[in-house]
Structure 1
Amino acid sequence: MAVKCEYHDNFLTAQAAAAGALDREAQPCLFDRLDWLESLHRIALRDKTPALLQAKGGDVQGWLPLMQAEGGHLVALANWYNFTWAPIFANADSEVEKLALLRGLAGLASKHARRLTLAPLPDEDSSASMVQAAFEASGWSVFREVCDQNHILEVKGRSFDAYWEGRPSRLKNTVKRKGKTGAVTIRIETEYGTESWCDYERVYARSWKPEEGSPEFLRQIAERESVAGALRLGLAYIDGKPVAAQFWTVENGVALIHKLAHDERHMQASPGTLLSAALFQHVIDVDGANSIDFGTGNDAYKAEWMEDVRERYRLEMFWPNNPANWPHIAIRKWRAYRAAN
């Protein structure tokens, strides 16, 4: 397959070149869409120049959405809002096609950068392994390490009741005991509303969570996913006041838990736990989700709700013909030697 490559430093030319290949209709994953990337850059990463690398062969496309970190160093166009970052493909059904596109992207990257840092890459779909193989075959020195963990639930056709039967006794007893009091009332919104979103933000501001990095970005994603029918905004109230809130999306059989928070002044009522149970029930029984993804982070409470853990990887890649990279390559090879011996 003959591959043609292009480098884009803005989203307008990238959108034209993609010709719909990065739109919602073509990309099932939220994080692989041009509107996600453009909003993330415009609101949260606007001080970084985008570097959008495209490889194309016929109607098959591959993309690496990157951004400038410093001179000669490109990094994944991603931040803490991303559950994953990975190369994006369109109409590439085989690994052979994907590897051909990635080798083209590796050659293009060597003309624009001496170093690449890519994370958080998944590998359950072979993304990390394919990038590593293609870039090594193209002459790059590649170093791979685990950078995070991802907790996930594979529903496997179960009802919520069947799933709930397997939860830890402590969790089930908490939901049963606190639910009986009737102190907490719960709403699950599927459409964006200004008042409901303000309740979410009020709860977040009173929670243990750090200050929201880009609240405007999060709000725009909630509005956009509402229009697409993917928003699930859970709110818990005590005496009419919001005390817990969670922002989920559900699409193409996958539920993503983006944000959750509760007002610590009401911990005794367990509103966050009750709200989680309600949302799990909704996405399993009503939405028919096949999997529920708790994002990155190895927080202990996630293990109570989820059943599997997947690793996320960082690839540090250096173009060896650039002398500025030689110390980095030597240090990492020494570390690898020490770890193996």
Structure 2
Amino acid sequence: MATLYQQFSLAEFVKQYSAEIAQPRYYELSLPWLLASESYMLAEGADVIVHCLFKKSDNKDIILIAWPLVHRGQAISSLTSFYSTVTEPLFFSKEAQQKLPSLLQCITQQNQWQSLSLGPIDSTSLLAQALSNGQDNIGYRRLFAQSDNFYLNELSSFEQYYQQRPSQLKNTIKRKAKKLAKQHSYHIDIITQESDLAAAFIHYKSIYQQSWKADEYSFDFIDYVCRHAAQQGKLRLGLLFVDNIAVAAQIWFVQESAQVKVASIFKLAYIPQYQDYSVGSLLSMALSEHVLSCDKVNEIEFGMGSEAYKKDWLPKLRSRVTYQFFNAQTIYGNLLALRKVLLPKVKAYFLR
């Protein structure tokens, strides 16, 4: 099959091909997420180029794969930020995944580059396999980062999920709910509609700014992805109110593809003075019940991070990795490889 390689800006790509894109596994692989990353998270001097592979059929060019990558100088990287927990190319059919090595070869052979950073990606994905099997054609490779992803799949009901939770977690939630109800009035709202988002987002910002977390880098990014998720029916923004004061907030996204429906936990925050009531756990359980009973999801996943508490909620574990490559065909690429890949190995050898 004859193939054709082309490049587009992200705006050009969206204009021509957005209607043909299949639903991704995770909301953060969607076009709204990519557009928000370009608008709010791109470093100065960087550009997004969408690398596309087409097949020729009956004098028509049919798109197979599109891979939005960031070009900054002679460094190429995935279109992600610290808000992103997974990335991969956009595939326009299941069969197109087999052409991934061909697109990777076009990217590395037809662009000027010294370093190539790809990830975070699921370590068992076809993309990870292509990067591992085809690394000799790319350059020197190193594992730049690896992170945990807690999840639970094959879910059928909230009752099934709840019964499998540790006794300590269930007892804590029962005790804290009883204590909170005895001392205060409280209720939980789960926002799914765009019409309710503006007011809910004000509560979210207030809670986050009072929480133990550092200052948010870009509320504009979060507002953008939440708004577009709400427009598509994918947003689940939970708020827990105590005496009509919003004290805990969580942002989840729901996405369905290939008969698998996934709920991804994106953001969690609460006001520390209410910690004694475990308001975060109460809200997590309420959202778990909502996505399992109302949305009928088959899987819930926590993004990235190895915090111990996550095991009580989602006990399965997989890894997501980021690979960095250095161009073996250029002097500077070899110098980078010497510094980043070979010297650390030599140092580790002599320190053993």
TM-score for the superposition, normalised by structure 2: 0.87
1:54–1:64 Cα contact (<8 Å) kept: yes
Matching residue's letter, 1:250 = V
After TM superposition, give the deviation of residue 321 of structure 1 in Å: 1.4
After TM superposition, give the deviation of residue 36 of structure 1 in Å: 1.9
CA shift digits 1:190-220 (9 cap, x unpaired): 1132212111111111111111111011111
Measured in 1, the distance between the counterparts of 2:104 and 2:283 equals: 42
Measured in 2, the distance between the counterparts of 1:166 and 1:115 equals: 45
Give the structure 1 partner of residue 294 of structure 2.
286
CA shift digits 1:258-286 (9 cap, x unpaired): 10100001111111110000001111121
The answer on 1:164 being equivalent to 2:181 is no
- Equivalent residues in 2 for 1:1-341, closer than 5 Å: 1-8=1-8, 10-16=9-15, 18=17, 20-22=19-21, 25-45=22-42, 47=44, 48-58=46-56, 59-69=62-72, 71-93=73-95, 95-108=97-110, 111-134=111-134, 136-154=135-153, 156-181=154-179, 182=181, 183=184, 184-192=186-194, 193=196, 194-252=198-256, 253-331=261-339, 332-336=341-345
Measured in 2, the distance between the counterparts of 1:329 and 1:174 equals: 51
Q: Which runs of 5+ in 2 are unaligned?
A: 57-61
CA shift digits 1:61-89 (9 cap, x unpaired): 222222134x3111111011112012222
RMSD: 2.2
1:152–1:293 Cα contact (<8 Å) kept: yes
After TM superposition, give the deviation of residue 139 of structure 1 in Å: 4.2
Greater alpha carbon shift after TM alignment, 276-285 vs 136-145: 136-145
Matching residue's letter, 1:333 = L
Measured in 2, the distance between the counterparts of 1:90 and 1:112 equals: 27
Measured in 1, the distance between the counterparts of 2:84 and 2:93 equals: 23
Q: Any idea what SS the aligned residue of 1:81 has?
A: coil
2:100–2:127 Cα contact (<8 Å) kept: no
Greater alpha carbon shift after TM alignment, 182-191 vs 206-215: 182-191
Measured in 2, the distance between the counterparts of 1:304 and 1:99 equals: 38
Greater alpha carbon shift after TM alignment, 13-22 vs 277-286: 13-22
1:4–1:104 Cα contact (<8 Å) kept: no
1:234–1:247 Cα contact (<8 Å) kept: yes
Measured in 1, the distance between the counterparts of 2:205 and 2:27 equals: 22
CA shift digits 1:135-156 (9 cap, x unpaired): x2534222235421111111x2
Matching residue's letter, 1:152 = Y
Matching residue's letter, 1:81 = Y
After TM superposition, give the deviation of residue 95 of structure 1 in Å: 4.9
| Number of residue-to-residue matches in the alignment | 333
Cα distance change on mapping 1:164 and 1:338 into 2, 3 Å: farther
Q: Any idea what SS the aligned residue of 1:62 has?
A: strand
After TM superposition, give the deviation of residue 19 of structure 1 in Å: 5.6
2:4–2:53 Cα contact (<8 Å) kept: yes
1:60–1:91 Cα contact (<8 Å) kept: no
Matching residue's letter, 1:210 = A
Matching residue's letter, 1:44 = M
After TM superposition, give the deviation of residue 53 of structure 1 in Å: 1.7
TM-score for the superposition, normalised by structure 1: 0.90
